[in-house]
Amino acid sequence: MSIVVTLLGYLALGAAAGTMAGLFGVGGGIIIVPALVFAFEAQGVAPEVLVHLAVGTSLATIVVTGASSALGHWQKGSIHLPWFKALLPGLALGAILGVFVAGSLSGTVLGSLFGGFVLLVAIKMLLGLSPKPGSTPPATATMSVAGVVIGAVSALFGIGGGTLSVPWLSRCGASMTRAVGTSSACGLPIALVGAGTFIVVGWGNPLLPAAATGFVMWPAFLGIVLASVPFARVGVRLAHVLPGHVLRYAFASLLLVVGLRFIVS
């Protein structure tokens, strides 16, 4: 497969991921990871490193897209700095732990765990489950522990963390605007530390493609970053046209299929 055709494929993947992220209101990681797994599989990447490479590359793309999102929320004043600072050490530590856990797992086990996680997200969306908003902020130590959990799970599965941090911040008493804004800021250190650690953990692995540095595939990173940001705006426009309940059920159904595909394969 030529370099041009491969890059065009990654651009198309980024366009699809960006559109779906904007359309369904989720972080790109939960879309990008399975898409990259299927793309790398088609290119003949060794199954032993297939899922790890997809997760690491997904985190690398979130460094760029997450920075753009965090900047936008910062300019609108929707990032609650005291909570972000309280979560930050745990997020960084958790991201490192999550990558080392991923590195200790086989590709099959990591793929099955990702599939299970996706199924849980799908069921949550189908049932409309959400935690009850709280009013009392937790102690700093509790926030630090929460940061470790959010960072570890997010790095393990190559996501920005919004699936976990938005409900947590809502329980801490944040409005939805502040929960989403602060969550976007939390995604940046998770992605930055996680992607960097995936590069270190995968460094020199003989099964990796030539265009990869550790568990980050640079042509995929470039194509996704270039296309996902502008196409996210297309998804946002579509989201304002289509009925909300239809979007939720459609995306949850897609996640069910993807989750089952990872578990049974």
Average pLDDT over residues 25-31: 71
- pLDDT, tens digit, 9 for 90 and up, residues 98-109: 999 999 999 999
- pLDDT, tens digit, 9 for 90 and up, residues 168-182: 888 888 777 788 788
Rounded to two decimals, what is the model's pTM?
0.88
Question: How far are the Cα atoms of 101, 160, 177, 212, 244 from residue 157, in angstroms, in the given order?
Answer: 11, 9, 25, 19, 27
Q: Where are the domains of the chain?
A: 3-264
Angle at 214 between CA 208 and CA 215, to 5 degrees: 80
Residue 235 CA to residue 96 CA, distance in Å, equals: 32
Bridge partners (DSSP) of residue 213 are 216
- For residue 221 the two structure tokens come to 């990173």
- Tell which wins on pLDDT, 178 or 221: 221
